[in-house]
Structure 1
Amino acid sequence: MLPHQPVVRFRVGLPIALLTCTQEPTLMADFGFDFTDEEYDEPVVASSDNAGNSDEQPSDDSPVDTRSITVASDATPSPTSLTSLSSEVLVNSIEDASPKVLEAVLPNQFDEGDLTPIERLCIRSQSSLPFLRVWAAREIKNVLHSSPVADILTTIFPVAFQLSMDKAESDDASPTNGSLENPITHSLFHDWLETMLLDPSVIVVNGVQAALVELGHTMEFDLYHTEVIHHTILRLVKSVIKSRPPSIDILTDNILSAAFLNSNSELEDKALRRKLMALKLIRALVQKFGSGLKPAVFVPTIEKTAQDPSFEVRRDTAFTLGELSYALSYDLVLEGIFPIFQNLIQDTNWQVRHAAAHIALPKLATVLTGSQWASPQITVGPGRALHTGPNGPSHPGNASLPAGQSPHLPPPAPPVAAKVWAQIIERLLGSREVSYPVQTSVFEVIGQLMVAFQHMDKVKEILVRYYLSVVESAVDQDVVTTPELIFQCAYNFPAMLFIMGVSRWDELADAYLALTKFDHFEVRKTLAHSLHEVAKLLGPEFGEQYHEKVFGYFLVDLDEIQLAVVAHLTDFLDCLYPVARERCLPQILEVFQHEGNNWRARETMAQQLAPLCRLYPERTVVRHLLPLAVHWAKDQVAAVRAAAASAFPVIFDMTKEDPGLQVQFFESIIQFRAATTFRARLFFIQICEALLTQQVDATDFEQFFLPSLLALANDKVSNVRIAVARTLKRLLPAQTAMSAEPTEDTKSRSSST
């Protein structure tokens, strides 16, 4: 264990549940140790004879073997021995210590029957043994729920404060001295909370932050606003403004200037951490509660941090603007947040501009253009229409509001002129922007921006122009210097097509074909994943000219790109005319029949069999796809066989009307029933289970499959018999439901009665 872990566990252990105990330790294994006899130097506790003849107490300075403690059945561990152990080992290993052991740990101070939970908490929090103070920290949460408010203020809070300040780094920690008689003051509590928020440990900070957010669900609104928002979060920034560190100019001629400058640096570092923590908490609260928090109170703070001399504070302010824009009222976003954003977008530091462009720009554009409530229809094919907006199809450019946050009322007219937005986009993508990461961040959210500016033709055309220019310049280059930009263009292509519409496909067609042949693997892979989305948007009319061509490119590409297409194969084929599907089938079969060592690839292909069968005629399915299902049914990997089993119920249902095809189907599966390998017989049972899962007609199942299934009930392999029993158990509910349905005879008898 690292030396600093006990301290972190003291501070973060406050909300952890009570450490329960179960058994008196009589052997060394009870303490979580497992050493051989050769590893022992000497026993820590003497034999009972020696122990009875010696009154000498062990010295605190005497060496103790920290690896082990040997406890006889009638002996108890000494405090010195326990002190030498690791705190984590003792907390996690000593369970339900008997009164004798506890008396040894806390001599003359512990009586299980006489102490209340609060008294026990106070005593253990004062122990010189670190593991008992860890126990006290973990017990605080349970004691809080069962204690009156007066005891919480006068006793438990001081104990928690004292444990949070615990500095024990090793096992020789001395007991903490602190009075538990005086109640904790309001100011002291907030000082303690602030100390925890600024703790160097990320674990502690995240725990306290999560606790502050969760308080919003239990505390009254006014109390939460006062104690958490004003006295905790905003206080982090206000106290920095009120207590400025001494100026460097004043200390220049001072003899102790070096010491003062060092102190000044520490104060500035602490002030920076306070501001960053305040902004982090604001984002967490706004994400959780949205407009219900009344976040207008944060705007003055944001205005101050946006002008902070530290670029880290201005950068985190830009992060916060995006979250606030969804929660604030429309007028406040326009008059308070947008001017701050305009200043940050022109900041001298590229990290600030990057945060403003990547996080704040798309969210502010979504709010101020009203695109979160507008959802126009865009025609993507004959008889087809898609909607933009929060509930539209899933693609990179689909801007949606966070859960729990109400949309703004639509403005009567766009208050921010298109000219202003155009200047912002030109500023970020034009020659004035010298930072490559900033330009890349805009292309990363270009799909969201297209949705936001769908009614502003001037801004939309600027985005399209830069988008096409990046792709064209990359095609003309022998060595691409901007691969990340090209990747973002490929990733956001469905969103660009979605907003521009099929009518402007001619402008995007050349760029799309160029991207599909791009040298960089990541570009082709993301386009392969979105091929079915592009096919949905364009419709089947463009199938022969574009869809089949690109589909063919990707099927002869690398294995990962092939799998990206296969994962959405049926979605893609569903967008083609039946004739086009027939033309694609040979290429599909060639990929499916390719034997590879990647069983996950075979599983993905086998999962596509069932939906693929529904897209082709019965004879095509029996001739080409049924042999594939039989082939994968013999795969060495169980997951592949299970995926292939789902195709057989579909094929059985398709062949019921054609006796000739049904004969071919049964000839294919009967081999599994009479196979000599138990794995094949298990697969026949899997087919029966798949038939029941897909609710095949019960009469058909009893006629064609049940006799063979029952014959396997006496199989010599126990796994086969177990699988039969499991399948028959699934069959019983179906039989019960059938018997519950009244037949014609029962109806006639009941009517005559």
Structure 2
Amino acid sequence: MSDLDFTEFDADGLSALEKIYLFSRSHAGFHRVFIVHALPRYLDVDHVTPAEAVEYVLPLLNGLALDEDEAVKEALAAELLPIVWWFITHCRLVEEDFSTPQQDTILEQLAEQSPELAGVTPIPVQAFTPILGTLLLSQNTLVGGPARHAVVQLLKRIRHAEEREDGHPVTLPTDNERPEPDYAVGLLGPPERHLFEHEIVHSVVIGMGRLDMPDVDDGPLSNISTPRSQGGHHETHIEHHPHSGHDMRPATPPIPADAPDSTTAGSTPLAAPSSTPDSYFPVMPVAPHGTPAPSPSASPRRKPSDLPEQRDATSPMADEDDISEEAAVGRLSSMSLMAAVTASGTLKEETKTAFVTEVERVGRDPVYWVRREAAFAVGALAKVVPDELVISSLLPLFESLYQDPIWHVRHSVLFALPAILSRLPPNRRRSLALDVILPLSSDESPTVRSAVLEALGEVMHTFIDLEDGPPRELLDMFIGVRGGGAEAATVIQPDASSTIQSPISASSRTSYNPGAEPQTDVDIYDDPARPLVCAFNFPAVALTLGRSRWPELRNLYLTLSQSSSFKVRLTLAASLGEIAKIIGPTNAREDLMDVWRASISADDTEVRLKATECAAVFVRALAPPEQVAALGEIEVGVTSGKLRGWREREEVMKSLASFLDISGCEDILRRLLMQGLGDRVSAIREAAVSATPAFVKAWRYMPRLITGLREGIRALAHSDSYRERTTFVTCEQAVLVSTESDFVLFDEGFWDILSHLSRDPIVDVRIRVARLLVTISTDHVNDAPIMARALTLAERLEQDSSQDVRAFARSIRSRSESVAPRSPWEMEAPKSAITFSRPPPLAPS
């Protein structure tokens, strides 16, 4: 097998199991990447039995998790969710961990104790713990990120299965999520789900943070391999050994020669200090409690030989340092995963308590970047745990973190502040907000000061339920009023003695101070990002203060509206609708109409698009006179060509139906609809066609309006442009499949026009007519007068030169001759103006 050329390998003659084994042991990395991506299909479709998968495939997964090629681990992390789900649903999870020599004996004992296990392949519940741990601890974000996602999704699927089985309402997805499908659970019954969830929560999520604790030494996580434990810093390269024959014994995991050097947590929005010494793991020798250490640097993948000074890995001190560093990375990864799992909303009450206990412990870690990650977990947990846990456990930890001597930690605390405040009683909420925001607004770190400004809107929004609103000091800071608490704030100075001493070169050691950051004289009121941040937070602050306090924000809003910054104008345009709803018609007329006009006619395409996207909300929030004026601005933009981007015009067409109950603008709406139906862009025409049934329904009993609409649509049928003639047919079809079908069917002019178009010189028009007749005959097969009209037109179309037209026409006659149950293709009426389908099969006669 050592001489086997996989590029000429005839894999078609092998079983799925043989393919899995041979490709996973290939010398070529792309073969191993291929088999990892193909593994879910091989397991699910190609009939690999659970017994074979446990005996042969599972050991290969352990080797692939330790592969020297980062691309292989990236592929495994990406496919981890379907692979793990297949194993736990096709095998019976058991607590016992059995080794190969004793497997048969243990299986017999299990079968005797539990007869239902006979013939079922058991798998230890901790089988995937080392694989998950190894991938989660990777500093490569393309490995750690997907691995975190897999853990979160596994827990969500388990919770979804429990809700479905218990008959409880399934947790609804958020706005950005798709509904969770009902995945087959197979052998994953309630006891097995409890076992697996407990293993994931306690051995993976929490266990990663306890790699240096005695109770983990003999647990599943003791098998986790990290770059240091793999010898990633050694120069020697151990090749991927060839194997002979078709031996199915698991491979010895390869030892990587190099390792990625990337971020450790992918969840933190803050990069590591740029002055951090470039090393695979941060150098962290033994230090007193409370002493921080540098964070892992975000740098390209490097070989050990490229690193600065390397320590002798054989010395006892180096071993201790390695263990300490790996344990710190484990605590960081644990906090990152804990925040992700918490945010997914899949926690049981006992899990929440366990997480809080672990965050309390890790939140006082001597390594500052571990504390930084713990702050994010505090914010996630504060949203879901009971109030008593927030006050008794999370609040004391939060108070220690916001006074941390390292600016990175103080920065991350600001992201957790709104979640903490929302769970506190009013008086405590007010005092904590001032205690945190005022000092940090004048922090020595410009990054912290900017973060205060970014968090200010969300912090103020936590006071929305209080009659007097947010503290005056916070409102003045948002508006930009200097003085008061901001000037009197105490600047937090870092403790220089807390900086850890690193055994790297003296020059690097003296140049790095994680508690310090290049300082600037620009305060929070002169921050260049202030206009954009205020524009982004404006809806939240306006909603918090309410309509009655709009005058306090008016000057700031008008100042922002005059900004020359593209991003500020874009943000204001996107929020026009929500601001108008909050401040009411009168204030909107005085302060927003000019901003609306400037946005809808702006030179920047993105600004115009945002204005049209919020047009439906904005116009409906105005008083009737301003509603007509705003719609007039839209009509001018469409007809004059100012809305020259097709997406802008499409958004206008999509919003037309929402304006139909506004009186006084009917003529404007009709002209806009006809403009859309005649547009040269198909997406705009389709949006206009979709709005047509709403117009018919709203105006059907208003003779003047419905007559004007009908005449406008009929004019399309007589147009010289075949595109407009097809648009007419599609409009009529859209009305036919709505609740207003009789409006079309009982109109004599409709049948005359349809007869005329059945002889159209353009085949696409005739195909549209034939498909429209299919729709009519499908829905009215028992209506003799209508079917007679349809058959008359179908007879002519049966003689058409186009085979597609003839096929549609013949299906109409077949249906009339034998009123049979409709087939699935007949049940689905075409609704798109640009959708063409193959001719239908003949209905059974």
- Determine the C-alpha separation between the residues in 1 that align with 2:451 and 2:589: 35
Residue by residue over 1:576-596, the C-alpha shift from the partner in whole angstroms, topping out at 9 and shown as x without a partner, is 332333444543332222325
Alignment of 1:84-483 (within 5 A): 85=7, 94-97=10-13, 157-165=58-66, 167=68, 191=130, 193-199=132-138, 201-206=140-145, 208-213=147-152, 215-216=154-155, 217=158, 218=188, 220=192, 223-224=195-196, 227-241=199-213, 247=286, 260=315, 266-288=322-344, 289-292=346-349, 294-358=351-415, 360-369=416-425, 416=428, 418-429=430-441, 431=442, 433-455=443-465, 457=468, 459-469=470-480, 481-483=526-528
C-alpha separation between the residues in 2 aligned to 1:133 and 1:655?
A: 64
Q: CA deviation at 1:246?
A: 7.2
**Aligned counterpart, 1:580:** 626
Residue 510 of structure 1: CA displacement? 1.8
1:615 alignment counterpart: 662
Change (3 A) 1:302 1:601: same
The aligned residue for residue 678 of structure 1 is: 722
The structure-2 alpha-carbon separation of the partners of 1:673 and 1:452, relative to structure 1 and needing over 3 Å to count, comes to same
Shift of 1:317: 0.5
In structure 2, the CA distance between the partners of 1:235 and 1:670, relative to structure 1 (3 Å rule), is: closer
Q: Which of residues 601, 606, 616 in structure 1 aligns to 2:648? A: 601
Q: Is the contact made by 1:483 and 1:520 (CA closer than 8 Å) also made in structure 2?
A: no
| 1:338 Cα deviation from its structure 2 partner | 0.9
Which amino acid in structure 2 is aligned with residue 545 of structure 1? Answer: E
Deviation sequence 1:427-453 (CA, Å, 0-9, x none): 233x3x233333333443434323322
| Secondary structure at the counterpart of residue 346 of structure 1 | coil
Q: Which letter does structure 2 place at the counterpart of 1:642?
A: E
How far does the alpha carbon of each residue in 1:241-292 deviate from its partner, in whole angstroms, 9 at most, with x for none? 559997599xxxxxx9797476666444423322222222222332331244
Counterpart Cα distance in 2 of 1:739 and 1:729: 15
Amino acid at match of 2:326: K
| 1:130 CA displacement | 7.6
The answer for the alignment partner of 2:740 in structure 1 is: 696
- Cα 1:284–1:652 change in 2 (3 A) is closer
Q: Cα distance, 1:340 vs. partner?
A: 0.9
Q: Shift of residue 166 of structure 1?
A: 5.0
Choose 701-710 or 521-530, whichever is displaced more.
701-710
Long gaps (5+) in structure 1: 1-77, 103-111, 172-178, 250-255, 370-413, 741-753
Q: Distance in 1 between matches of 2:626 and 2:380?
A: 47
Report the alpha carbon displacement of residue 324 of structure 1 after superposing the two structures with TM: 1.6
What is the rounded CA distance, in whole Å, between the counterparts of 1:299 and 1:585 in structure 2?
54
Match of 1:637 in 2: 681
Q: Is 2:33–2:71's contact at 8 Å kept on the other side of the alignment?
A: no
Shift of 1:158: 4.0
Query: Aligned partners of 2:721, 2:650: CA distance in 1, in Å?
Result: 22
Q: Letter of the aligned partner of 1:692 in structure 2?
A: L
Stretches of structure 2 that go unaligned for 5 or more consecutive residues are 73-98, 104-122, 159-187, 218-282, 289-310, 485-521, 786-845
Return the offset for 1:356. Answer: 1.0
Aligned: 1:530 with 2:575: yes
TM-aligned CA distance change 1:153 to 1:663, over 3 Å: closer
Partner SS for 1:348: coil
Deviations 1:612-662 (A, max 9, x none): 454243xx534x444444344333211122233345555556665566665
Residue 728 (structure 2) pairs with residue 718 (structure 1): no
Name which of 552, 562, 580 aligns with 1:517.
Answer: 562
Tell me the amino acid that sits aligned with residue 568 of structure 2.
V
Question: Are the structure 2 counterparts of residues 723 and 350 from structure 1 closer, same or farther at C-alpha, using a change threshold of 3 Å?
Answer: farther
Distance 1:708 1:200, change over 3 A: same
- State the distance in 1 between where 2:71 and 2:546 align: 67
User: C-alpha distance in 2, partners of 1:237/1:170?
Assistant: 26
SS in 1 for 2:354: helix
Q: Which amino acid aligns with 1:161?
A: N
State the Cα deviation string for residues 518-554 of structure 1 (Å, max 9, x = none).
2222222222222222222232233442343433343
C-alpha contact (below 8 Å) 2:460/2:541 kept by paired residues: yes
- Could you tell me how far apart the structure 2 residues matched to 1:223 and 1:241 are? 23
Partners of 1:127 and 1:579 in 2: CA distance: 74
| Distance change >3 Å, CA 519–CA 119, structure 1 → 2 | closer
Give the Cα–Cα distance (whole angstroms) in 2 for the partners of residues 578 and 124 of structure 1. 70
3-state secondary structure, aligned to 2:746? helix
The TM-score normalised by the length of structure 1 is 0.65
Q: Is the 8 A contact 1:610 1:646 kept in 2?
A: no
Alpha-carbon displacement from aligned partner over 1:442-469 (angstroms, at most 9, x marks no partner): 4434343233223554853232121112
Q: Distance in 1 between matches of 2:694 and 2:28?
A: 68
Q: Structure 1 residues 303, 595: closer, same or farther in 2, change over 3 A?
A: same
Choose the corresponding residue for 1:571, options 600, 617, 628: 617
Amino acid at match of 1:449: V
The whole-number CA distance in structure 1 between the counterparts of 2:622 and 2:127 is 70
Contact 1:291 1:328 in 2 (8 A): no
In structure 2, distance between residues paired with 1:194 and 1:593: 61
CA contact (8 A) 2:602 2:608 kept: yes
Contact 2:201–2:351 under 8 Å retained in 1? no
C-alpha distance in 2, partners of 1:123/1:492? 56
Deviations along 1:455-488, one digit per CA (max 9) or x if unpaired, are: 5548532321211126999xxx9x9952422222
Residues 577 and 185 of structure 1: CA distance in aligned 2, closer, same or farther (over 3 Å): closer
Separation in 2, partners of 1:636, 1:646 = 16
- Give, in whole Å, the separation in 1 of the partners of 2:57 and 2:702: 79
Partner SS for 1:96: helix
Q: 1:554 aligns with which of 586, 599, 602?
A: 599
Q: How many residues align?
A: 572
* Residue 21 (structure 1) aligns with: none
Partner of 2:496: none
Instruction: Please state how far the C-alpha of 1:318 moved relative to its aligned partner.
Output: 0.6
Task: State the alpha-carbon separation in 1 of the partners of residues 375 and 580 from structure 2.
Answer: 37
1:652/1:662 contact within 8 Å kept: yes
Q: Deviations over 1:340-362 (max 9, x none)?
A: 1111111222221121102x111
- C-alpha separation between the residues in 2 aligned to 1:612 and 1:323? 41
The share of aligned pairs that are identical, in percent, is 26
